[in-house]
Amino acid sequence: MKIAIAGGSGFVGKHLTMKLVAEGHQVVILTRNKPHTQHKDITYVEWLTEQAEPEKALTDITAFINLAGENLNSGRWTKAKKQDILQSRIDATKEITRIITKMETKPKILINASAIGYYGTSEESTFTEQTDKSGNDFLANVVKTWEQAANDVPDSVRVVFARFGMILDKDEGALNKMLLPYKLFIGGPLGSGKQWLSWIHIDDLVNAIHFCLMQGEISGPVNMTASEPLRMNDFGKTLGSVLNKPHWAPVPAFLLKIVLGEMSILVVEGQRVLPDKLQEHGFTFQYPNLKPALINILR
């Protein structure tokens, strides 16, 4: 397959590109800045600049994957930051729908990155792809608007909304921010410890995206989370045991809200999300349980 990826140089994009190239696919990465070095199976196409006309370079594309957007974890959610988070996703997605509309031969599938933040937060509810009701906080509204923008592609294109949970990886992502307190022997639950964490190992995330590419009957929302969500306190205990560090010093929710502002919702509140659609279609997780996932990443 020949696959175009927006956001291919980002955290998930780098892992996914390696997977796709290893599987024998050709990858076209849409970028504002072409790198000086080239790879024989990776082509770089300029986009989102005044002179860019990416549709002219995108021929025989089988699939489009949209991973583009401002990092949620980089800095406080000021008014300007929140606007960047929303606008970066909408601008990228609208440009992709424009490109696909212009293409003479349409791709068969668009996989649009999304987030389980769609569901809002809850300590009691369980969310699956069958959950119609969305949340009404900032992140839920971003996801709803983001997904609506991706729905503007022609009807012939199969659309998948890949709703990511918290991604576990040794180099990037939320896990790195959680490690330092444990390494300093002051690790403990964040907030009440009762909030849910719906997580996924980076390898399973990449494999799940690849699975959706190959399974022609999958469309609509797909929860990309492991089958074992945990409450924050249990997550922290498992992390401490893998690191051989104590789990004892809670960080109060009010302090996190002071330090992080509205962004604290990412750690103080959460949701229990299950990957029903992936499992119904036969996807097998390498790391369905947290402890083996953390051992793989941290040891």
Question: In angstroms, how far is the first alpha carbon of the chain from the final one?
Answer: 35
Alpha helices in the chain (DSSP H): 11-22, 54-57, 79-102, 138-150, 174-183, 202-214, 232-243, 253-260, 265-268, 276-280, 290-298
- pLDDT value of residue 177: 80
Q: What is the CATH number of the domain that holds 214?
A: 3.40.50.720
74-83, 172-181, 273-282: which is most confident:
273-282
- Tell me whether residue 11 is in a domain: yes
- Tell me whether residue 70 is in a domain: yes
Domain that holds residue 75: 2-168+199-226+273-286
- Write out pLDDT tens, residues 272-291: 999 999 999 999 999 999 99
- pLDDT value of residue 166: 94
- Tell me whether residue 220 is in a domain: yes
- Tell me whether residue 6 is in a domain: yes
User: What is the average per-residue pLDDT within 42-52?
Assistant: 90
User: What is the average per-residue pLDDT within 132-156?
Assistant: 94
Q: Name the band, by pLDDT with cuts 50, 70 and 90, for residue 18.
A: very high
Six-digit token string for 292: 């083996």
d(CA 129, CA 274) in angstroms, rounded, equals 8
Q: How many residues does the chain have?
A: 299
Q: Name the band, by pLDDT with cuts 50, 70 and 90, for residue 258.
A: confident
- pLDDT value of residue 154: 92
* Backbone dihedral angles phi then psi of residue 290, each to the nearest 5 degrees: -70, -45
Mean pLDDT of the chain: 93
- Tell me whether residue 294 is in a domain: no
* Backbone dihedral angles phi then psi of residue 231, each to the nearest 5 degrees: -75, 155
> Which of 166, 70, 58 lies closest to 110, judged by CA?
58
User: What is the average per-residue pLDDT within 186-199?
Assistant: 93
* Backbone dihedral angles phi then psi of residue 201, each to the nearest 5 degrees: -70, 140
d(CA 116, CA 225) in angstroms, rounded, equals 9
- pLDDT value of residue 33: 80
Using alpha carbons, list the distances in angstroms from residue 21 to 2, 41, 209, 246: 10, 7, 14, 41
- Write out pLDDT tens, residues 202-235: 999 999 999 999 999 999 999 999 999 999 999 9
Per the CB < 8 A criterion, the answer to whether 22 and 16 are in contact is no
- pLDDT value of residue 36: 67
- Tell me whether residue 184 is in a domain: no
Number of separate domains in the chain: 1
User: What is the average per-residue pLDDT within 171-200?
Assistant: 89
User: What is the average per-residue pLDDT within 243-265?
Assistant: 86
Rounded to the nearest 10 degrees, what angle do helices 174-183 and 232-243 cross at? 60
Q: Which residue's structure tokens are 């956001």?
A: 7
- Tell me whether residue 82 is in a domain: yes
d(CA 100, CA 153) in angstroms, rounded, equals 7
Percent with pLDDT over 70 in the chain: 99
- pLDDT value of residue 159: 98
- pLDDT value of residue 68: 94
- pLDDT value of residue 262: 85
DSSP 219-243: -EEEEES-S--EEHHHHHHHHHHHH
- Write out pLDDT tens, residues 246-255: 999 888 888 8
Cβ neighbours of residue 190 closer than 8 Å, sequence gap 6 or more: 178, 232, 236, 250, 251, 253, 256, 267, 268
- Write out pLDDT tens, residues 88-110: 999 999 999 999 999 999 999 99
